[in-house]
Structure 1
Protein backbone atom coordinates (compact mmCIF):
# COMPACT_ATOMS: atom_id res chain seq x y z
CA UNK A 1 0.00 0.00 0.00
CA UNK A 2 1.38 3.36 -1.05
CA UNK A 3 0.32 6.98 -0.75
CA UNK A 4 0.22 10.21 -2.69
CA UNK A 5 0.38 13.23 -0.42
CA UNK A 6 0.17 16.99 -0.87
CA UNK A 7 0.30 19.74 1.75
CA UNK A 8 -0.75 23.38 1.66
CA UNK A 9 -0.52 26.10 4.29
CA UNK A 10 -1.08 29.86 4.08
CA UNK A 11 -1.05 32.67 6.61
CA UNK A 12 -4.34 33.97 5.22
CA UNK A 13 -5.23 37.55 4.41
CA UNK A 14 -5.71 39.02 7.90
CA UNK A 15 -3.11 37.37 10.13
CA UNK A 16 0.55 38.37 10.36
CA UNK A 17 1.84 35.02 11.62
CA UNK A 18 0.99 31.50 10.51
CA UNK A 19 0.39 29.61 13.75
CA UNK A 20 -0.39 26.33 11.95
CA UNK A 21 2.15 23.51 11.68
CA UNK A 22 2.09 20.45 9.43
CA UNK A 23 3.62 17.00 9.73
CA UNK A 24 4.07 14.99 6.53
CA UNK A 25 5.81 11.66 7.04
CA UNK A 26 4.37 9.78 4.09
CA UNK A 27 7.10 7.13 4.17
CA UNK A 28 6.01 6.33 7.74
CA UNK A 29 2.26 6.57 7.16
CA UNK A 30 1.90 9.49 9.59
CA UNK A 31 0.44 12.95 9.04
CA UNK A 32 -0.88 15.76 11.24
CA UNK A 33 -2.19 19.32 11.23
CA UNK A 34 -1.83 21.51 14.33
CA UNK A 35 -3.51 24.91 14.72
CA UNK A 36 -1.87 27.02 17.42
CA UNK A 37 -3.47 29.58 19.69
CA UNK A 38 -2.23 32.07 22.23
CA UNK A 39 -1.18 35.08 20.15
CA UNK A 40 2.18 36.87 20.05
CA UNK A 41 3.80 33.82 18.39
CA UNK A 42 2.79 31.54 21.29
CA UNK A 43 0.44 29.61 19.04
CA UNK A 44 3.23 29.07 16.55
CA UNK A 45 5.39 27.62 19.34
CA UNK A 46 2.58 25.35 20.55
CA UNK A 47 1.75 23.88 17.15
CA UNK A 48 5.45 23.35 16.43
CA UNK A 49 5.85 21.47 19.72
CA UNK A 50 2.93 19.22 18.82
CA UNK A 51 4.37 18.40 15.40
CA UNK A 52 7.90 17.89 16.71
CA UNK A 53 6.66 15.44 19.34
CA UNK A 54 4.83 13.40 16.71
CA UNK A 55 7.77 13.50 14.32
CA UNK A 56 9.99 12.02 17.02
CA UNK A 57 7.79 9.01 17.70
CA UNK A 58 9.12 5.50 17.13
CA UNK A 59 7.12 3.93 14.31
CA UNK A 60 6.30 0.25 14.66
CA UNK A 61 4.29 -2.18 12.56
CA UNK A 62 1.57 -2.17 15.24
CA UNK A 63 -1.17 0.38 14.49
CA UNK A 64 -2.60 0.31 18.00
CA UNK A 65 0.82 0.86 19.57
CA UNK A 66 1.56 3.74 17.20
CA UNK A 67 -1.78 5.36 18.02
CA UNK A 68 -1.20 4.96 21.77
CA UNK A 69 2.27 6.49 21.38
CA UNK A 70 0.80 9.48 19.53
CA UNK A 71 -1.82 10.04 22.22
CA UNK A 72 0.84 9.79 24.95
CA UNK A 73 2.98 12.33 23.10
CA UNK A 74 0.07 14.79 23.02
CA UNK A 75 -0.50 14.35 26.75
CA UNK A 76 3.19 15.02 27.37
CA UNK A 77 3.15 18.16 25.23
CA UNK A 78 0.01 19.26 27.05
CA UNK A 79 1.92 19.34 30.33
CA UNK A 80 4.91 21.07 28.73
CA UNK A 81 2.67 23.83 27.36
CA UNK A 82 0.97 24.37 30.70
CA UNK A 83 4.37 24.79 32.35
CA UNK A 84 5.46 27.15 29.58
CA UNK A 85 2.33 29.26 29.92
CA UNK A 86 2.74 29.57 33.69
CA UNK A 87 6.34 30.69 33.31
CA UNK A 88 5.24 33.80 31.42
CA UNK A 89 5.07 37.13 33.24
CA UNK A 90 1.41 37.26 32.27
CA UNK A 91 0.12 33.66 32.50
CA UNK A 92 -2.16 32.67 29.64
CA UNK A 93 -3.23 29.66 27.65
CA UNK A 94 -0.71 28.52 25.06
CA UNK A 95 -2.15 25.68 23.09
CA UNK A 96 -2.88 23.97 19.81
CA UNK A 97 -5.51 21.82 18.25
CA UNK A 98 -4.28 18.68 16.53
CA UNK A 99 -5.64 16.14 14.09
CA UNK A 100 -3.46 13.24 13.05
CA UNK A 101 -3.72 10.20 10.80
CA UNK A 102 -1.84 6.89 10.87
CA UNK A 103 -2.31 4.21 8.18
CA UNK A 104 -0.98 0.66 8.45
CA UNK A 105 -1.83 -2.44 6.40
CA UNK A 106 -5.22 -1.33 5.17
CA UNK A 107 -6.33 0.25 8.44
CA UNK A 108 -6.32 3.86 9.63
CA UNK A 109 -6.53 5.61 12.97
CA UNK A 110 -7.27 9.29 13.51
CA UNK A 111 -6.49 11.09 16.75
CA UNK A 112 -7.51 14.62 17.59
CA UNK A 113 -8.17 17.36 20.13
CA UNK A 114 -9.98 20.55 19.10
CA UNK A 115 -11.72 21.52 15.88
CA UNK A 116 -9.16 20.63 13.24
CA UNK A 117 -10.82 17.89 11.20
CA UNK A 118 -10.25 14.67 9.29
CA UNK A 119 -12.37 13.55 6.35
CA UNK A 120 -12.40 10.52 4.07
CA UNK A 121 -13.62 10.60 0.49
CA UNK A 122 -14.52 7.18 -0.90
CA UNK A 123 -16.39 6.47 -4.16
CA UNK A 124 -17.50 10.09 -4.34
CA UNK A 125 -18.87 10.18 -0.78
CA UNK A 126 -17.30 12.37 1.90
CA UNK A 127 -17.42 11.46 5.57
CA UNK A 128 -16.20 13.58 8.47
CA UNK A 129 -14.21 11.23 10.69
CA UNK A 130 -13.70 13.56 13.63
CA UNK A 131 -16.12 15.40 15.92
CA UNK A 132 -15.31 19.02 16.76
CA UNK A 133 -14.45 19.74 20.36
CA UNK A 134 -16.22 23.09 20.27
CA UNK A 135 -19.02 25.01 21.92
CA UNK A 136 -21.13 25.16 18.77
CA UNK A 137 -20.83 21.38 18.27
CA UNK A 138 -22.17 20.88 21.78
CA UNK A 139 -25.02 23.27 21.01
CA UNK A 140 -25.83 21.36 17.82
CA UNK A 141 -25.83 18.01 19.63
CA UNK A 142 -28.05 19.45 22.37
CA UNK A 143 -30.54 20.57 19.72
CA UNK A 144 -30.11 24.23 20.67
CA UNK A 145 -29.01 25.33 17.20
CA UNK A 146 -29.33 23.77 13.75
CA UNK A 147 -26.19 22.40 12.05
CA UNK A 148 -26.38 25.06 9.35
CA UNK A 149 -26.24 27.77 12.01
CA UNK A 150 -22.91 26.58 13.40
CA UNK A 151 -20.62 28.34 10.89
CA UNK A 152 -22.02 31.80 11.56
CA UNK A 153 -22.59 31.42 15.28
CA UNK A 154 -20.92 34.22 17.34
CA UNK A 155 -19.08 31.58 19.39
CA UNK A 156 -17.91 29.56 16.40
CA UNK A 157 -14.28 30.04 17.41
CA UNK A 158 -14.70 28.72 20.97
CA UNK A 159 -13.11 25.29 21.34
CA UNK A 160 -13.58 23.07 24.37
CA UNK A 161 -10.44 20.98 24.05
CA UNK A 162 -6.87 21.56 22.89
CA UNK A 163 -3.33 20.53 23.69
CA UNK A 164 -2.22 22.93 26.45
CA UNK A 165 -5.70 24.18 27.35
CA UNK A 166 -6.26 22.25 30.60
CA UNK A 167 -4.43 20.05 33.10
CA UNK A 168 -6.15 16.94 31.78
CA UNK A 169 -6.18 16.25 28.05
CA UNK A 170 -8.39 13.63 26.45
CA UNK A 171 -7.40 12.77 22.89
CA UNK A 172 -10.16 11.10 20.90
CA UNK A 173 -9.45 8.38 18.37
CA UNK A 174 -11.40 6.70 15.58
CA UNK A 175 -10.47 4.09 13.02
CA UNK A 176 -11.51 1.93 10.12
CA UNK A 177 -10.33 0.44 6.87
CA UNK A 178 -8.31 2.27 4.23
CA UNK A 179 -8.73 1.11 0.63
CA UNK A 180 -6.93 1.97 -2.62
CA UNK A 181 -8.56 5.07 -4.06
CA UNK A 182 -9.55 6.46 -0.65
CA UNK A 183 -8.54 10.06 -0.01
CA UNK A 184 -8.07 11.49 3.48
CA UNK A 185 -8.14 15.22 4.22
CA UNK A 186 -6.70 16.79 7.37
CA UNK A 187 -7.48 20.48 7.78
CA UNK A 188 -7.45 23.39 10.19
CA UNK A 189 -10.63 25.37 10.69
CA UNK A 190 -9.26 28.04 8.38
CA UNK A 191 -10.44 25.73 5.59
CA UNK A 192 -13.51 24.09 7.09
CA UNK A 193 -15.21 27.32 8.14
CA UNK A 194 -15.18 28.65 4.59
CA UNK A 195 -15.49 25.52 2.43
CA UNK A 196 -18.35 23.08 3.01
CA UNK A 197 -18.19 19.31 2.84
CA UNK A 198 -19.82 19.13 -0.59
CA UNK A 199 -17.27 21.46 -2.13
CA UNK A 200 -14.40 19.52 -0.59
CA UNK A 201 -15.87 16.29 -1.95
CA UNK A 202 -16.32 17.70 -5.43
CA UNK A 203 -12.75 18.98 -5.71
CA UNK A 204 -11.21 15.80 -4.34
CA UNK A 205 -13.38 13.51 -6.45
CA UNK A 206 -12.71 15.36 -9.70
CA UNK A 207 -9.05 16.33 -9.41
CA UNK A 208 -5.78 14.74 -8.40
CA UNK A 209 -4.60 15.64 -4.87
CA UNK A 210 -2.21 18.43 -5.91
CA UNK A 211 -4.80 20.24 -8.02
CA UNK A 212 -7.59 19.66 -5.51
CA UNK A 213 -5.47 21.09 -2.69
CA UNK A 214 -4.69 24.17 -4.77
CA UNK A 215 -8.34 24.71 -5.60
CA UNK A 216 -9.40 24.40 -1.97
CA UNK A 217 -6.76 26.91 -0.87
CA UNK A 218 -7.74 29.28 -3.67
CA UNK A 219 -11.39 29.09 -2.56
CA UNK A 220 -10.43 30.17 0.95
CA UNK A 221 -8.33 33.07 -0.33
CA UNK A 222 -11.11 34.29 -2.63
CA UNK A 223 -13.45 34.30 0.39
CA UNK A 224 -11.17 36.53 2.43
CA UNK A 225 -9.09 33.97 4.37
CA UNK A 226 -9.58 35.53 7.82
CA UNK A 227 -7.49 32.82 9.48
CA UNK A 228 -4.45 30.69 8.76
CA UNK A 229 -5.37 27.75 6.55
CA UNK A 230 -3.64 24.38 6.35
CA UNK A 231 -4.53 21.07 4.74
CA UNK A 232 -3.07 17.71 3.86
CA UNK A 233 -4.58 15.35 1.27
CA UNK A 234 -3.48 11.72 1.38
CA UNK A 235 -4.54 9.35 -1.40
CA UNK A 236 -4.18 5.61 -0.92
CA UNK A 237 -2.74 3.95 -4.03
Structure 2
Protein backbone atom coordinates (compact mmCIF):
# COMPACT_ATOMS: atom_id res chain seq x y z
CA UNK A 1 0.00 0.00 0.00
CA UNK A 2 1.44 3.37 -1.05
CA UNK A 3 1.05 6.28 1.36
CA UNK A 4 0.85 10.00 0.83
CA UNK A 5 1.67 12.30 3.75
CA UNK A 6 0.38 15.83 4.30
CA UNK A 7 1.08 17.92 7.40
CA UNK A 8 0.53 21.45 8.68
CA UNK A 9 0.94 23.36 11.95
CA UNK A 10 0.28 26.92 13.05
CA UNK A 11 0.50 28.80 16.36
CA UNK A 12 -2.54 29.98 18.24
CA UNK A 13 -3.06 33.25 20.06
CA UNK A 14 -2.21 31.89 23.52
CA UNK A 15 -0.50 34.24 25.95
CA UNK A 16 3.09 33.15 25.38
CA UNK A 17 2.82 32.31 21.71
CA UNK A 18 5.41 29.54 21.29
CA UNK A 19 4.02 26.66 19.27
CA UNK A 20 4.60 23.58 21.41
CA UNK A 21 2.90 21.16 19.00
CA UNK A 22 5.14 18.75 17.10
CA UNK A 23 4.68 16.69 13.93
CA UNK A 24 6.94 13.69 13.33
CA UNK A 25 7.22 11.32 10.38
CA UNK A 26 9.53 8.65 8.99
CA UNK A 27 8.18 7.32 5.71
CA UNK A 28 10.79 4.56 5.48
CA UNK A 29 9.92 3.25 8.95
CA UNK A 30 6.20 3.92 8.28
CA UNK A 31 5.81 5.64 11.63
CA UNK A 32 4.00 8.96 12.09
CA UNK A 33 3.05 11.03 15.13
CA UNK A 34 1.49 14.23 16.37
CA UNK A 35 2.43 15.59 19.79
CA UNK A 36 1.15 18.38 22.01
CA UNK A 37 3.73 19.41 24.58
CA UNK A 38 1.67 22.11 26.28
CA UNK A 39 2.35 20.65 29.71
CA UNK A 40 1.93 22.76 32.86
CA UNK A 41 1.63 26.25 31.39
CA UNK A 42 -0.04 28.02 34.30
CA UNK A 43 2.00 31.09 35.24
CA UNK A 44 4.31 31.15 32.24
CA UNK A 45 5.68 29.32 29.24
CA UNK A 46 7.27 25.97 30.10
CA UNK A 47 9.76 24.97 27.41
CA UNK A 48 9.10 21.35 26.31
CA UNK A 49 12.14 19.07 26.40
CA UNK A 50 10.56 15.66 25.84
CA UNK A 51 9.04 15.25 22.36
CA UNK A 52 12.29 15.13 20.34
CA UNK A 53 14.07 12.52 22.49
CA UNK A 54 10.80 10.64 22.82
CA UNK A 55 10.36 10.40 19.07
CA UNK A 56 13.94 9.22 18.53
CA UNK A 57 13.55 6.50 21.17
CA UNK A 58 10.23 5.53 19.63
CA UNK A 59 11.81 5.10 16.19
CA UNK A 60 14.64 2.95 17.54
CA UNK A 61 12.26 0.62 19.40
CA UNK A 62 9.88 0.44 16.43
CA UNK A 63 12.71 -0.66 14.15
CA UNK A 64 14.24 -3.08 16.66
CA UNK A 65 10.94 -4.92 17.18
CA UNK A 66 9.93 -5.32 13.53
CA UNK A 67 9.34 -9.07 13.99
CA UNK A 68 6.65 -8.56 16.65
CA UNK A 69 2.90 -8.19 16.06
CA UNK A 70 2.20 -4.60 15.11
CA UNK A 71 0.27 -3.72 18.28
CA UNK A 72 3.00 -5.05 20.60
CA UNK A 73 5.62 -3.38 18.44
CA UNK A 74 3.94 0.01 18.75
CA UNK A 75 3.32 -0.37 22.48
CA UNK A 76 7.01 -1.05 23.06
CA UNK A 77 7.86 2.03 21.00
CA UNK A 78 5.76 4.28 23.23
CA UNK A 79 7.13 2.70 26.40
CA UNK A 80 10.63 3.45 25.11
CA UNK A 81 9.59 7.04 24.37
CA UNK A 82 8.22 7.44 27.87
CA UNK A 83 11.48 6.21 29.40
CA UNK A 84 13.51 8.60 27.24
CA UNK A 85 11.34 11.58 28.18
CA UNK A 86 11.42 11.11 31.96
CA UNK A 87 13.31 13.84 33.83
CA UNK A 88 13.43 13.05 37.57
CA UNK A 89 13.22 16.16 39.69
CA UNK A 90 11.72 18.48 37.09
CA UNK A 91 8.58 19.09 39.16
CA UNK A 92 10.67 20.20 42.14
CA UNK A 93 12.75 22.53 39.96
CA UNK A 94 9.65 24.14 38.48
CA UNK A 95 8.07 24.53 41.92
CA UNK A 96 11.20 26.30 43.18
CA UNK A 97 11.23 28.66 40.20
CA UNK A 98 7.55 29.46 40.62
CA UNK A 99 8.10 30.21 44.31
CA UNK A 100 10.83 32.72 43.41
CA UNK A 101 8.61 34.34 40.81
CA UNK A 102 5.72 34.71 43.23
CA UNK A 103 7.95 36.71 45.58
CA UNK A 104 9.87 38.76 43.00
CA UNK A 105 7.90 40.70 40.40
CA UNK A 106 11.00 41.51 38.31
CA UNK A 107 11.92 37.82 38.17
CA UNK A 108 8.34 36.99 37.27
CA UNK A 109 8.41 39.37 34.32
CA UNK A 110 11.84 38.30 33.05
CA UNK A 111 11.21 34.54 33.23
CA UNK A 112 7.62 34.43 32.01
CA UNK A 113 8.50 33.43 28.47
CA UNK A 114 12.23 32.84 28.28
CA UNK A 115 12.13 29.06 28.53
CA UNK A 116 13.77 28.71 31.95
CA UNK A 117 10.69 26.82 33.06
CA UNK A 118 10.86 23.42 31.35
CA UNK A 119 8.87 20.20 31.35
CA UNK A 120 9.37 16.78 29.74
CA UNK A 121 5.76 15.72 29.19
CA UNK A 122 3.68 15.51 26.02
CA UNK A 123 0.56 14.00 24.52
CA UNK A 124 1.28 11.65 21.61
CA UNK A 125 -0.93 9.98 19.03
CA UNK A 126 1.15 7.64 16.86
CA UNK A 127 0.36 5.63 13.73
CA UNK A 128 2.48 2.72 12.58
CA UNK A 129 1.86 0.75 9.39
CA UNK A 130 2.65 -2.83 8.46
CA UNK A 131 1.47 -4.16 5.09
CA UNK A 132 -2.26 -3.37 4.97
CA UNK A 133 -2.86 -2.59 8.65
CA UNK A 134 -2.48 0.53 10.75
CA UNK A 135 -1.86 0.48 14.48
CA UNK A 136 -2.79 3.60 16.42
CA UNK A 137 -1.39 4.36 19.88
CA UNK A 138 -2.94 6.98 22.15
CA UNK A 139 -1.51 8.71 25.23
CA UNK A 140 -2.86 12.17 26.02
CA UNK A 141 -5.05 14.76 24.35
CA UNK A 142 -4.30 14.33 20.63
CA UNK A 143 -6.58 12.23 18.42
CA UNK A 144 -6.58 9.86 15.47
CA UNK A 145 -9.43 9.49 12.98
CA UNK A 146 -10.11 7.24 10.02
CA UNK A 147 -12.08 8.66 7.10
CA UNK A 148 -13.48 5.72 5.14
CA UNK A 149 -15.87 6.39 2.25
CA UNK A 150 -16.68 9.81 3.68
CA UNK A 151 -17.43 8.55 7.20
CA UNK A 152 -15.32 9.97 10.05
CA UNK A 153 -14.48 7.56 12.88
CA UNK A 154 -12.51 8.49 15.99
CA UNK A 155 -10.33 5.44 16.48
CA UNK A 156 -9.65 5.82 20.23
CA UNK A 157 -10.83 8.10 23.04
CA UNK A 158 -8.31 10.76 23.94
CA UNK A 159 -7.24 11.28 27.55
CA UNK A 160 -8.36 14.87 28.04
CA UNK A 161 -10.60 15.42 31.03
CA UNK A 162 -13.32 16.66 28.66
CA UNK A 163 -13.47 13.26 26.97
CA UNK A 164 -12.79 11.01 29.95
CA UNK A 165 -15.61 12.62 31.95
CA UNK A 166 -18.16 11.59 29.32
CA UNK A 167 -17.13 7.92 28.99
CA UNK A 168 -19.35 5.19 30.48
CA UNK A 169 -18.57 4.65 34.15
CA UNK A 170 -16.77 7.98 34.58
CA UNK A 171 -16.87 9.68 37.98
CA UNK A 172 -19.67 12.33 37.83
CA UNK A 173 -17.44 14.66 39.85
CA UNK A 174 -15.24 15.06 36.78
CA UNK A 175 -18.00 16.95 35.00
CA UNK A 176 -17.81 19.75 37.56
CA UNK A 177 -14.18 20.37 36.60
CA UNK A 178 -14.80 20.85 32.89
CA UNK A 179 -15.47 24.57 32.94
CA UNK A 180 -11.83 25.37 33.75
CA UNK A 181 -9.93 22.15 33.05
CA UNK A 182 -11.27 20.74 29.77
CA UNK A 183 -7.84 20.00 28.32
CA UNK A 184 -6.17 18.66 31.45
CA UNK A 185 -4.83 15.18 30.59
CA UNK A 186 -5.26 12.03 32.63
CA UNK A 187 -2.24 10.46 30.85
CA UNK A 188 0.97 11.87 29.35
CA UNK A 189 4.27 10.54 28.13
CA UNK A 190 7.22 11.57 30.29
CA UNK A 191 5.13 12.06 33.43
CA UNK A 192 5.55 8.79 35.36
CA UNK A 193 7.85 5.73 35.03
CA UNK A 194 4.92 3.52 33.99
CA UNK A 195 2.60 4.52 31.16
CA UNK A 196 -0.65 2.96 29.98
CA UNK A 197 -0.98 2.99 26.19
CA UNK A 198 -4.30 2.59 24.38
CA UNK A 199 -3.97 0.72 21.07
CA UNK A 200 -6.12 -0.22 18.13
CA UNK A 201 -5.30 -2.02 14.88
CA UNK A 202 -7.47 -1.40 11.80
CA UNK A 203 -7.30 -2.53 8.17
CA UNK A 204 -6.16 -0.01 5.59
CA UNK A 205 -8.13 0.18 2.35
CA UNK A 206 -7.24 2.13 -0.77
CA UNK A 207 -8.78 5.59 -0.49
CA UNK A 208 -8.75 5.68 3.31
CA UNK A 209 -7.50 8.83 5.01
CA UNK A 210 -6.12 8.88 8.55
CA UNK A 211 -6.08 12.21 10.40
CA UNK A 212 -3.87 12.77 13.45
CA UNK A 213 -4.35 16.11 15.19
CA UNK A 214 -3.83 18.05 18.40
CA UNK A 215 -6.71 19.28 20.54
CA UNK A 216 -6.34 22.71 18.98
CA UNK A 217 -7.96 21.13 15.92
CA UNK A 218 -10.44 18.60 17.25
CA UNK A 219 -11.75 20.52 20.26
CA UNK A 220 -13.40 23.30 18.18
CA UNK A 221 -14.60 20.91 15.43
CA UNK A 222 -17.16 18.12 15.53
CA UNK A 223 -17.02 15.01 13.36
CA UNK A 224 -19.50 16.43 10.84
CA UNK A 225 -17.32 19.50 10.27
CA UNK A 226 -14.24 17.32 9.79
CA UNK A 227 -16.16 15.20 7.27
CA UNK A 228 -17.21 18.33 5.35
CA UNK A 229 -13.59 19.50 5.12
CA UNK A 230 -12.59 16.17 3.56
CA UNK A 231 -15.58 16.22 1.20
CA UNK A 232 -14.88 19.73 -0.14
CA UNK A 233 -11.47 18.89 -1.62
CA UNK A 234 -11.16 15.11 -1.47
CA UNK A 235 -8.17 14.91 -3.83
CA UNK A 236 -6.06 17.62 -2.19
CA UNK A 237 -4.65 16.72 1.21
CA UNK A 238 -2.98 20.11 1.67
CA UNK A 239 -6.27 21.89 0.99
CA UNK A 240 -8.06 19.69 3.52
CA UNK A 241 -5.52 20.53 6.22
CA UNK A 242 -5.71 24.24 5.41
CA UNK A 243 -9.48 24.11 5.72
CA UNK A 244 -9.34 22.26 9.04
CA UNK A 245 -6.90 24.82 10.44
CA UNK A 246 -9.04 27.71 9.17
CA UNK A 247 -12.20 26.30 10.73
CA UNK A 248 -10.47 25.64 14.06
CA UNK A 249 -8.87 29.09 14.04
CA UNK A 250 -12.16 30.86 13.36
CA UNK A 251 -14.02 28.84 16.00
CA UNK A 252 -11.42 29.12 18.76
CA UNK A 253 -7.99 30.37 17.77
CA UNK A 254 -6.39 30.32 21.22
CA UNK A 255 -4.62 26.96 21.06
CA UNK A 256 -1.91 25.87 18.65
CA UNK A 257 -3.16 23.70 15.79
CA UNK A 258 -1.34 20.80 14.15
CA UNK A 259 -2.49 17.91 12.00
CA UNK A 260 -1.33 15.37 9.47
CA UNK A 261 -3.09 13.17 6.95
CA UNK A 262 -1.98 9.72 5.85
CA UNK A 263 -3.65 8.76 2.56
CA UNK A 264 -3.66 5.16 1.37
CA UNK A 265 -3.42 4.57 -2.39
TM-score by length of 2: 0.77
Quick check: 1:85–1:94 contact (8 Å CA) kept in 2? no
- CA shift, 1:199, in A, is 1.1
Q: Which residue of 2 aligns with 1:212?
A: 240
Quick check: 1:113–1:161 contact (8 Å CA) kept in 2? yes
Write the distance in 2 (CA, Å) between the matches of 1:43 and 1:73.
24
Radius of gyration: which is bigger? 2
Q: Which residue of 1 aligns with 2:80?
A: 76
Distance 1:80 1:105, change over 3 A: closer
Q: Which residue of 2 aligns with 1:51?
A: 55
- CA shift, 1:214, in A, is 0.8
* Structure 1 counterpart SS, 2:19: coil
- CA shift, 1:178, in A, is 0.2
- CA shift, 1:139, in A, is 2.0
1:99-119 Cα deviation digits (max 9, x unpaired): 011122111100110121000
Q: Which residue of 2 aligns with 1:98?
A: 124
Write the distance in 2 (CA, Å) between the matches of 1:87 and 1:153.
25
1:128-173 Cα deviation digits (max 9, x unpaired): 0011113232321247799xx99x7432111100102223201111
Q: Which residue of 1 aligns with 2:145?
A: 119
Select the residue among 115, 119, 133 that pairs with 1:107: 133
What's the C-alpha RMSD, in Å, of the aligned pairs? 2.9
Quick check: 2:124–2:189 contact (8 Å CA) kept in 1? yes
Q: Which residue of 1 aligns with 2:99?
A: none
Q: Which moved more, 1:26-35 or 1:174-183?
A: 26-35
Quick check: 1:34–1:188 contact (8 Å CA) kept in 2? yes
Quick check: 1:93–1:165 contact (8 Å CA) kept in 2? no
Alignment map for 1:171-182 (pairs within 5 Å): 171-182=197-208
Q: Which residue of 2 aligns with 1:19?
A: 20
Quick check: 2:51–2:120 contact (8 Å CA) kept in 1? no
- CA shift, 1:30, in A, is 1.4
Q: Which moved more, 1:103-112 or 1:51-60?
A: 51-60
1:166-196 Cα deviation digits (max 9, x unpaired): 2320111101100000000000101011121
Q: Which residue of 2 aligns with 1:133?
A: 159
Select the residue among 179, 182, 187 that pairs with 1:161: 187
TM-score by length of 1: 0.85
